[in-house]
Structure 1
Amino acid sequence: MTMIDIRDLTVSYGKNENEIQIVKGVNFQVAEGESFGLVGESGCGKSTILGAVAGRNKQWTGHMAIAGEEIGRKRTRSQLALQQMVFQDPFGSIHPRHTIGRTLLEPLEIHGIGQRQERIEKVLTDVGLPIAFRYRYPHQLSGGQRQRVAIARALILKPRILLLDEPTSALDVSIQAEILNLLKDLKEREKLTYILVSHDLAVVAHLCNRIAVMQNGTFVEIVDTRQLIEGNITHPCTRMLRDGSRGYVAA
């Protein structure tokens, strides 16, 4: 089954003479249970695609379908719950004056979901945090622990899709590996579909089945991980990114 179907997606910022196209007619499909990576240099449009899929950016044209349902610029609450985002900076995306429990409770209240305490306890366990962490504040957690909370918040609505925007780039290398392994385990356990945005080809190769390389708002090449590892790539931009990750992108 195709979980995400994107055709001729164009995303702009500004209006009239100030309008700038950031994403220029990209096409891709992501199968249920697949991890699809978007890589490229800063400003190429990869996070903008993620924002459009999530419903955060409404200035787009084209065709978008999630789980077989046509998606428009205005989303229903159930459509919004179907895909959740995990952001780059866990400290910036979590309210500093709310306990972790309060942070996890909020989406359940917004969506009118019951069994709230049980869900909070389960999702903390799922991301490898003690249940007692629900009483802590973000400043009392390490960067890796805060990112686990951000993942827990995304998971608590039981989405089918996680949209991951540079989820490890603000973390130390050793903690990056822990978070990537956690995401890999969660994908298998919860049967999730991922779109992962990163500038780091090694990070994407660790988690993704297929990878789209972006430059100036368009896809210049889509490769699977095996092609990347073996160097079976054609575009100079892909080769440049691979060379920059040499020693990390390996079998």
Structure 2
Amino acid sequence: MMISVKNLAVSFGSGHSAKQVVKDVSFDVAAGETFGLVGESGCGKSTVLGALAGRIKAWGGSIALDGEAIAAKRSKSQLAKQQMVFQDPFGSLHPRHTIGRTLLEPLEIHGIDRRRERVEQALRDVGLPASFYHRFPHQLSGGQRQRVAIARALILKPRVLLLDEPTSALDVSIQAEILNLLKDLREREKLTYILVSHDMAVIAHLCNRVAVMQGGMFVEIASREALLSGNVEHSYTRTLLDGSRGYQPTRRAG
């Protein structure tokens, strides 16, 4: 199993003011699978992702990545194995750094050689020309910036990508391009994804299974086929599906 989470709990604050935002969540994700977390804002889905990514340090339960237990403090190899793509391509790239500088940084931190070659290949892998090396974020469209953010996540050759609403800040016409890029990269690089979204259409396009979150808990884990057919068990899942009615996802493989 690539990812195994058991009894994950996260609280913010302390004493009487403490608020538990993730409550006893457990799930496994197989290698090569895309597992979705869906629910309304504030349900806890991004907090689960933050605990997995190491951005949230205080959590209870257990997390294992590729069979190795991980703690709040991660080793360099654990950090390299799992990378994150954020929602906002405008805010996640340093405005005064060239694209080349942004992509070189993780290679320098991890002491990886052939850096210029790796940066140019990472750009090509996400459908951008090597000439973007010298450009600045303000010279790129939103979709191009998100491609750079994906290239940055991929440059350390991770096994897992954690995707936090990766298309929600983009125009609808660009969203499908980025989702299809992510699907192609998953198949080509044999990646495992966890995708957070509030949009059932995005989830159905990319995910094999989805956990539906409400109030910090999983109310249902459903397959993609169940989402497409509407054959779901929980009333809240049906409410989310009804909100996405009219979307007809392409029936490409998983």
**Shorter-normalised TM range:** over 0.9
What is the rounded CA distance, in whole Å, between the counterparts of 1:57 and 1:111 in structure 2? 22
Equivalent in the alignment of 2:110? 111
Query: 1:193 maps to which residue?
Result: 192
Equivalent position of 1:14 in the other structure: 13
In the TM superposition, structure 1's runs of 4+ consecutive aligned residues that sit over 2 Å from their partners are: 15-18
Instruction: Verify: 1:4 aligned to 2:9, yes or no.
Output: no
How far did residue 14 of structure 1 move? 1.6
Aligned to 2:242: 243
The 8 Å contact of residues 242 and 249 in structure 1, kept in 2 or not, is answered as no
Structure-1 residue corresponding to 2:90: 91
Q: Name the SS of the counterpart of 1:90 in structure 2.
A: coil
Correspondence 1:76-87 to 2 at 5 A: 76-87=75-86
Q: Residues 49-95 of structure 1, C-alpha deviation per residue, up to 9 Å, x if partnerless?
A: 00000111011000110000011111111111110000000110100
Aligned residues: 250
**5 Å matches for 1:23-172?**
23-172=22-171
On the 8 A contact 1:103/1:153 being kept in 2, the answer is: yes
Cα shift at 1:249: 4.7
Q: Say if 1:205 and 1:249, in contact at 8 Å, map to a contact too.
A: no
What residue in structure 2 maps to residue 208 of structure 1? 207
CA distance in 2, matches of 1:7, 1:92: 32
Cα separation, 1, equivalents of 2:14 and 2:96:
37
Give the TM-score taking structure 1 as reference length.
0.98
TM-score by length of 2: 0.97
- Take 2:107 and 2:92, find their aligned partners in 1: how far apart are those partners? 17
Q: SS at the partner of 2:22?
A: strand
Q: Give unmatched runs, 5+ long, in structure 1.
A: none
Which runs of 5 or more structure 2 residues have no equivalent in the other structure?
none
**SS of equivalent residue, structure 1 residue 23:** strand
Aligned residue type for 1:154 = A
On the 8 A contact 1:36/1:209 being kept in 2, the answer is yes
Q: Give 1:64's aligned amino acid.
A: I
Amino acid at match of 2:52: V
Question: Secondary structure in 1 aligned to 2:5?
Answer: strand
1:182 aligns to what SS in structure 2?
helix
The residue that corresponds to 1:175 in the other structure is 174
Q: Distance in 2 between matches of 1:100 and 1:16?
A: 45
Map Cα deviations across residues 131-159 of structure 1 (whole Å, 9 max, x no partner). 00010000000000000000000000100
1:79-123 deviation line (CA, Å, top 9, x unaligned): 111100000001101000000000000111111111101110110
Instruction: Write the letter of the residue equivalent to 1:26.
Output: V
Distance (Å, rounded) in 2 between the aligned partners of 1:118 and 1:18: 51
Following superposition, the deviation at residue 16 of structure 1 comes to 2.5
SS of residue in 1 equivalent to 2:2: strand
SS of residue paired to 1:93: coil
Residue 17 of structure 1 and its aligned partner are, at CA, apart by: 2.7
Q: Secondary structure at the match of 2:90?
A: helix
Q: Is the 8 A contact 1:201 1:249 kept in 2?
A: no
3-state DSSP of counterpart to 1:91: coil
SS at match of 1:97: coil
